[in-house]
């Protein structure tokens, strides 16, 4: 039978429950347990697919095509195992299911209520993962903060589960903030006491208190928290600010978070966590031998969460190349023919980001033209790839009006067009081309070199596609379709063979990069950027010596 660890948050949001949950999972996995993580989100949207990145950050897509919370990205990056629809549940999805059942008459004339019907459905979703897989431990993170009205049914569901399963099968970690008051030179425990009291009022008592803090917690503070929050002293865990999120598993190990959980769940400790690969990665990350500057061209650059997986993929690929990746944000909306050179000067590589709608499109196209003409390593993802096709059509094929029908419905040259099966779609949620699809790579391509194989599977999230009517013209003029879907013939990857590194991918490689398996396309891109940087340096020294 699987055992459960619930992670709740108190005092404030954004304390990093996802990172704590992922770090704990990593430690348990490294001890030999089979672990997964689940996120329950208390909002009414059925999934975050319809949410603006400004509201919610990136939408993470799983192999089975679920549009999910970005925390699932952390889970996959830390654990290296795939998640699925069952790993992310929202209040919207719970209610949708219960209401549909009510319409079918499944409740046999009963009044449908939050308790027991909504809470029963929450419990069913929590235990569903265990019924389908043989996990030893399931970590469930509850979004939001205790005390939020919308979190109440989740808190009640956990209370019931704990009552049903017993405390040795079900424990709670409460993550809170211990603020440091500069004027008083003191760490304050009162907000944590209040937050635990709120849980107590709902019939829950945390087993472990994890404390986010900027200052170390001394023994006195730990004892005080233990006393007022009714936990053992060793169950007060310091969660100090870390240099990188990838340090957190080691920090949690130092605090024995994994061992305490196992002890409370009456599970054997097994072996010490085997973190050899993880430490090697950290070592490379912290001791880079070179540096590259990559321009991230997008329209949400002011909000880092919007490109979370891309930024993390750079971290993984940088470590693999023993190279520090400095990301320079370039706002595509403000790029013009006049400022393009100054805005992009000094870059060793240019990544054009995914996106929806026409804002910032012309800036992306200008950046791509600049990368193509100046032979700067270029990597376009989804909309970034589509823009590289538009750019090539306009500036190389001479189709000055070329566009995607997403941006201009009536364009005379729809080089990117909506997929046939998308034309009659009216519902927006969950209807894109979503999830993992196979792709076959041309052995005569840079992409093949980078992947080292011809069959890959990558995750998608889009409605528009390369228009195959133009394929011949592109190929004859130097842009090749090097990745195709073997069943449908859809173009999944384009390249310019005459360019040192120019790759566009219709899919999202960033969703599959993990600490222990950095994505080959990112690794290849950073490598190419490193070579470009070196060559540029050589050129500059040559120029200065000849001057
Ligand atoms: N807007 C484009 C499409 O729907 C690209 C989507 C994306 O970049 N994820 O096809």
Which pLDDT tens digit goes with each residue over 353-374? 999 999 999 999 999 999 999 9
Confidence of residue 481 (pLDDT cuts 50, 70, 90): very high
For ligand 1, the distance from its centroid to the CA atom of residue 464, given in whole angstroms, is 6
Catalytic residue among 59, 229, 510, 519: 510
Query: What's the pLDDT at 441?
Result: 98
Query: What's the pLDDT at 22?
Result: 97
Instruction: Give pTM, 2 decimals.
Output: 0.95
Residue nearest to atom 5 of ligand 1 (CA): 383
The neighbour count for residue 102, using CB atoms within 10 Å, is 14
Question: Which residues does ligand 1 sit against, CB inside 6 Å?
Answer: 354-356, 382-383, 406, 461-464
> Which of the 8 DSSP states describes residue 42?
-
Query: What's the pLDDT at 52?
Result: 86
Query: What's the pLDDT at 547?
Result: 64
Q: What is the mean pLDDT of residues 435-463?
A: 97
Active-site residue flag, 510: yes
**488-547, pLDDT tens digit by residue?**
999 999 999 999 999 999 999 999 999 999 999 999 999 999 999 999 888 888 777 776
CA distance 468 to 544: 48
CA distance 178 to 174: 12
Query: What's the pLDDT at 544?
Result: 76
Query: What's the pLDDT at 424?
Result: 84
Let me know: does 220 contact 178? Beta carbons within 8 Å. Answer: no
Query: What's the pLDDT at 456?
Result: 97
CA distance 509 to 472: 26
For ligand 1, the distance from its centroid to the CA atom of residue 361, given in whole angstroms, is 12
Q: How many CA atoms lie within 13 A of 172 on its CB side?
A: 28
**23-63, pLDDT tens digit by residue?**
999 999 999 999 999 999 999 999 888 888 888 889 999 99
Q: First-to-last CA distance in the chain?
A: 75
CA distance 430 to 48: 10
Query: What's the pLDDT at 545?
Result: 75
**266-324, pLDDT tens digit by residue?**
999 998 999 999 999 999 999 999 999 999 999 999 898 999 999 999 999 999 999 99
For ligand 1, the distance from its centroid to the CA atom of residue 367, given in whole angstroms, is 18
**76-106, pLDDT tens digit by residue?**
999 999 999 999 999 999 999 999 999 999 9
Residue partners of 11: CB distance under 8 A and separation at least 6: 145, 176, 177, 191, 192, 194, 195
Confidence of residue 202 (pLDDT cuts 50, 70, 90): very high
Instruction: Look at residues 451, 520, 438, 444 and name the one whose alpha carbon lies nearest to residue 482.
Output: 444
For ligand 1, the distance from its centroid to the CA atom of residue 143, given in whole angstroms, is 27
For ligand 1, the distance from its centroid to the CA atom of residue 320, given in whole angstroms, is 29
Catalytic residue among 261, 382, 387, 439: 382
Let me know: does 294 contact 347? Beta carbons within 8 Å. Answer: yes
Residue partners of 244: CB distance under 8 A and separation at least 6: 282, 285, 315
The neighbour count for residue 120, using CB atoms within 10 Å, is 14
Q: Which of 364, 460, 462, 509 to mutate to test the pocket of ligand 1 (most atoms within 8 A of CB)?
A: 462
**119-145, pLDDT tens digit by residue?**
999 999 999 998 888 999 999 999 999
For ligand 1, the distance from its centroid to the CA atom of residue 382, given in whole angstroms, is 6
Residue nearest to atom 3 of ligand 1 (CA): 462
Catalytic residue among 117, 499, 508, 519: 508
Instruction: Return the exposure string of 307-318: e unless at least 16 CB atoms fall within 10 Å of the residue's CB, then b.
Output: bbbbbbbbbbbb
Active-site residue flag, 449: no
**In this model, does residue 468 exceed pLDDT 90?**
yes
Active-site residue flag, 508: yes
**375-426, pLDDT tens digit by residue?**
999 999 999 999 999 999 999 999 999 999 999 999 999 999 998 888 888 8
Q: Which of 61, 306, 383, 422 to mutate to test the pocket of ligand 1 (most atoms within 8 A of CB)?
A: 383
**212-229, pLDDT tens digit by residue?**
999 999 999 999 999 999
Query: Which numbered atom of ligand 1 lies nearest the CA of 432?
Result: 4
Query: What's the pLDDT at 543?
Result: 76
Let me know: does 279 contact 38? Beta carbons within 8 Å. Answer: no
Cis peptide before 120 (omega within 30 of 0): no
């Amino acid at each position: 039978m699987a055992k459960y660890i619930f992670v709740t948050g108190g005092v404030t949001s954004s304390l990093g429950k996802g990172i704590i949950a992922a770090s704990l999972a990593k430690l348990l996995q490294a001890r030999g347990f089979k672990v997964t993580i689940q996120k329950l989100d208390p909002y009414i949207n059925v999934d975050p697919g319809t949410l603006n990145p400004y509201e919610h950050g990136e939408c993470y897509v799983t192999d089975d095509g679920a549009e999910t919370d970005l925390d699932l990205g952390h889970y996959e990056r830390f654990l290296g195992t795939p998640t699925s629809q069952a790993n992310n549940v929202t209040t919207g999805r719970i209610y949708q299911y219960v209401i549909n059942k009510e319409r079918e008459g499944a409740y046999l004339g009963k009044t449908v209520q939050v308790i027991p019907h909504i809470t029963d459905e929450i419990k069913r979703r929590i235990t569903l993962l265990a019924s389908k897989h043989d996990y030893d431990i399931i970590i469930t993170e509850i979004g939001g903060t205790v005390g939020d009205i919308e979190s109440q049914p989740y808190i009640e569901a956990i209370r019931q589960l704990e009552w049903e399963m017993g405390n040795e099968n079900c424990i709670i970690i409460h993550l809170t903030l211990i603020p440091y008051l500069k004027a008083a030179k003191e760490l304050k425990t009162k907000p944590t006491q209040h937050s635990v009291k709120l849980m107590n009022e709902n019939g829950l008592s945390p087993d472990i208190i994890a404390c986010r803090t900027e200052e170390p917690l001394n023994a006195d503070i730990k004892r005080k928290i233990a006393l007022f929050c009714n936990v053992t002293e060793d169950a007060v865990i310091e969660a100090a600010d870390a240099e990188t999120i990838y340090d957190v598993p080691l920090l949690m190990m130092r605090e024995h978070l994994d061992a305490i959980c196992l002890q409370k769940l009456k599970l054997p400790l097994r072996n010490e966590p085997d973190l050899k690969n993880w430490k090697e990665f950290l070592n490379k990350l912290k001791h880079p031998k070179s540096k590259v500057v990559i321009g991230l061209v997008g329209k949400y650059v002011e909000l880092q969460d919007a490109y979370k997986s891309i930024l993390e993929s750079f971290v993984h690929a940088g470590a693999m190349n023993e190279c520090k990746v400095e990301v320079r944000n370039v706002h595509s909306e403000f790029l013009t023919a006049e400022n393009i050179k100054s805005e992009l000067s000094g870059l060793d590589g240019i990544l054009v980001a995914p996106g929806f709608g026409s804002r910032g499109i012309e800036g992306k196209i200008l950046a791509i033209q600049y990368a193509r003409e100046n032979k700067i390593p270029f990597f376009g993802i989804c909309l970034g790839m589509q823009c590289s096709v538009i750019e090539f059509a306009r500036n190389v094929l001479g189709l000055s009006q070329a566009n995607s029908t997403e941006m201009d419905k009536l364009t005379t040259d729809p080089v990117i067009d909506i997929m046939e099966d998308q034309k009659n779609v009216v519902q927006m949620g969950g209807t894109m081309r979503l999830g993992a699809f196979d792709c076959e790579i041309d052995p005569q391509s840079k992409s093949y070199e980078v992947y080292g194989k011809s069959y890959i599977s990558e995750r998608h999230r889009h409605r528009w596609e390369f228009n195959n009517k133009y394929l011949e013209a592109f190929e004859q003029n130097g842009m090749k379709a090097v990745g195709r879907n073997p069943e449908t013939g859809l173009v999944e990857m384009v390249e310019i063979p005459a360019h040192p590194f120019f790759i566009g991918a219709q899919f999202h490689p960033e969703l599959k990069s993990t600490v222990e398996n950095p994505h080959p396309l990112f690794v290849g891109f950073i490598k190419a950027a490193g070579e470009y940087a070196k060559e540029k340096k050589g050129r500059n020294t040559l120029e200065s010596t000849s001057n």
